[in-house]
Amino acid sequence: MSDDTDRLADRILDARAELAPLLEEARLARLARSEGPGTDGGAVCAWNHFENIPTFFNWNNRPR
Amino acid sequence: MEKGRAVCWNGRVAGVGGMRGLASVPGYVVMQPTTLCNLDCVYCYLPLRAADRRMPVAVAEAVAADANVWAAAGRFSVVWHGGEPLAAGREHLTALMAPFAAGVEQHVQTNATLVDDAWCEFFAARGVRVSVSVDGPEDLNGQRVSRAGRPAYDRIERGIGALRRHGLPYAALCVVSDPRPGLAARLYAYFLELGCDTLGVNIEEREGVNERANGHDAAAVRAFWAELAAAWRADPRIHLRELEWSLRYLGAVLDGTDGGLLPRTLDPIPTIGYDGAVVLLSPELAGFHDPVYGDFASGNVLTSPLSALLGSASTGWVPEFLDGIEACRASCPYFGFCGGGHAANRYFEHGRFDGTETEHCRNSKINLLEGVLDHVRRH
Ligand code: SF4
C-alpha cells in the first residue's frame, strides 16, 4: 500500500546518506550552544523536552 | 497534498500519535498587559493596537492563582505579549508581574523600540527572557513603521543595542512577506551579526485584521527554505527554530521513531486578554467576533479560575478545531511533522476550524520540510 505518507517517508529514507552528516553537524552545533539534554538557558531549553520550549519558539501549537 | 485527494489508510498514517485533545495544564500563558502598540506594522493582526486598554492587576492575580500551582509542579511560563508589552510601562508591568511566584518564568515579545538601559535593568533584575520582533536589515524592515508611517528600524536597532550592551541574551522573530531565493542567506547573515541566540522565521500569515493574501509560488518558498538551511549550516551558531524542528523530524524518520514525536496532547496556550477574557490555542483570535463563533473566548478569569475554564473547553469552536486536527491526521502525509494546522490560520483562511491545508501550512510546514530535503539532496 503506497500512499503519500509512505512516499514522503521513502524520500526521507532515500536521503539517509546525505542527511546523516547534516544531523551530526546539528548535534554538534547544539552542544556548542549548550543545548544538550539537561541544560537550561536562554529562550531554548531542554532540547529533549520540546513541548516545553516557551515563548513563541514552541513549535506546537504556535510556531510564532 | 491537494485537498480532496483520496487517501489510502495504512499503518503509518494511523500510527502518527500525539495531539489528541487538549492538555489540562498549559505550558505557558500569553498575557496582554495593554492592547496598545507604539508601532503600526503593515502586516499586524491586532485589532485594538491604537487603543491603550490596560490589564487590571486583578486579572494577573487571578491567572497567578493557577500559574503558581502549575509552576510548582513543572516548568511554566508567562509570555507578555501585546500590543507592545513595554508600552504598558515599567510600573504597571511590575504590578502585573508581582502576583507570580519566582518559579514562573517571565518572557516578553517586544518590538524593541522602547528598550533602554532602564528596561534592561528591569529584565536583568527579574530574569525576564526577551524576544524581539525584527525582520532583517533596514531595507527589509520597511513594514515595521510608526503610526505616522515612518520606518522604525533605527529605534529597533537602538533597543537591540541596549540589550547587547547589558549582555542580555535575546531571541528574534522575523516576518518574511515574500519568501524567495536570494533572501534567506542575507537574512541569516544579518541575524548572525545581530547576535540573537534563537531565531524564528514566520512567513507572513493572513489573520486578524491583516487580510493580505499569503499564497506564494511553492518553488520559490522551497528555494527560500533550502537557502536558509545552507546558510545556517555554514555557521549554525543560532538556534533556528524551523531548521531544528525539521532536522528533529527527519532524524526521527531515519530512526523509525517519527510516529511518537509529537506532544501527546495539544497545549491549550491560553491567551489572557487585557480584560481577563481567555482565548485558547491562538492569540490571534483574541479580540475578534464572529456571527457563528461569537468572541472565541472560553470565559473570563475575573469570574472563573483559569484551570476551570480549561476544563470546560469542550464547548464553542474548540471541538470543531479538534475535528480539524483529526482531519489533518487522516489525510496529510506531513502530519507527523506538523501536528496539524493552527486554529487562527484555519479560521482566517477557511472561515472555520475543521479544514486541513492552508496557505500557512504550505508556506511554513510542507515547503519548509521539502526545502530542507532539497538542500540535503543538493549538498
Ligand atoms: S496543517 Fe499540517 S497536517 Fe494539516 S494539512 Fe497542513 S501540513 Fe498537513
Percent of chain A with pLDDT over 90: 33
The type of residue at B164 is: R
Cell of B12: 503509518
Distance from CA of A37 to the nearest CA of B (A): 14
Percent of chain B with pLDDT over 90: 47
Q: How far is the CA of B339 from the centre of ligand 1 (A)?
A: 7
**Dist CA B89 CA A56 (whole Å):** 22
**Dist CA B90 CA B130 (whole Å):** 15
* Contact assignment for B251 to A19 by CB distance below 8 Å: yes
Residue A44, pLDDT > 70, answer: no
Question: pLDDT value at position B64?
Answer: 98
Question: What average pLDDT does range B126-139 have in this prediction?
Answer: 89
Q: Is the minimum distance from the CB of B262 to ligand 1 under 6 angstroms?
A: no
Question: pLDDT value at position B12?
Answer: 44
Question: pLDDT value at position A3?
Answer: 67
Question: What average pLDDT does range B169-173 have in this prediction?
Answer: 90
**Dist CA B287 CA B295 (whole Å):** 7
Mutation pick for ligand 1 pocket among B16, B221, B356 (CB with most ligand atoms within 8 Å): B356
On chain A, the residues whose CB falls within 8 A of the CB of B244 are 26
Question: pLDDT value at position A48?
Answer: 33
Residue B260, pLDDT > 90, answer: no
Question: pLDDT value at position A58?
Answer: 55
Question: pLDDT value at position A57?
Answer: 54
Question: pLDDT value at position B259?
Answer: 83
Say if CB B356 and CB B3 are below 8 A apart.
yes
Q: Where are the domains of chain B?
A: 25-256+264-378
Question: Confidence class of residue B292 from pLDDT cuts 50, 70 and 90?
Answer: confident
What angle do helix axes B367-378 and A16-32 make, rounded to 10 degrees?
Answer: 100
Of B7, B79, B253, the CB nearest to A54: B79
Q: Which is the closest atom of ligand 1 to the Cα of B361?
A: 6
Question: pLDDT value at position B6?
Answer: 31
Say if CB A33 and CB B237 are below 8 A apart.
yes
Residue B163, pLDDT > 90, answer: yes
Cell of B59: 486579572
* B80 φ, ψ (degrees, to nearest 5): -85, 115
Tell which of A10, A14, A62 to mutate to test the B interface (max B CBs under 10 Å).
A62
Question: Confidence class of residue A55 from pLDDT cuts 50, 70 and 90?
Answer: very low
DSSP state of B56: P
CA-CA distances (angstroms) from residue B29 to B60, B116, B182, B225, B270?
Answer: 11, 26, 37, 30, 5
* Contact assignment for A63 to B13 by CB distance below 8 Å: no
**Dist CA B286 CA B273 (whole Å):** 7
Please state the pTM of the whole predicted model.
Answer: 0.88
Question: What average pLDDT does range B264-282 have in this prediction?
Answer: 89
Higher pLDDT, B23 or B372: B372
Percent of chain B with pLDDT over 70: 91
Question: What average pLDDT does range B115-132 have in this prediction?
Answer: 94
Superfamily of domain B25-256+264-378: Aldolase class I (3.20.20.70)
The rounded mean pLDDT for chain B is 86
Q: What contacts B45, CB < 8 A, 6 or more positions away?
A: B205, B207, B208, B209, B210, B284, B344
Assembly ipTM: 0.85
Residue closest to B246 by CA, chosen among B184, B379, B338, B363: B338
Question: What average pLDDT does range A27-49 have in this prediction?
Answer: 58
Higher pLDDT, B193 or A36: B193
User: Which of A14-23, B259-268, B330-339 is modeled with the greatest confidence?
Assistant: A14-23
Residue B303, pLDDT > 90, answer: yes
Residue B152, pLDDT > 80, answer: no
Q: Does B255 touch chain A (CB under 8 A)?
A: no
Of B198, B258, B332, the CB nearest to A43: B198
**Dist CA B117 CA B280 (whole Å):** 35
The type of residue at B41 is: C
Question: pLDDT value at position B276?
Answer: 95
Cα angle at B286 between B285 and B290, to 5 degrees? 60
Per-residue pLDDT tens over the stretch B40-78: 767 666 666 767 789 999 999 999 999 999 999 988 889
Look-up of cell digits 513563541: A56
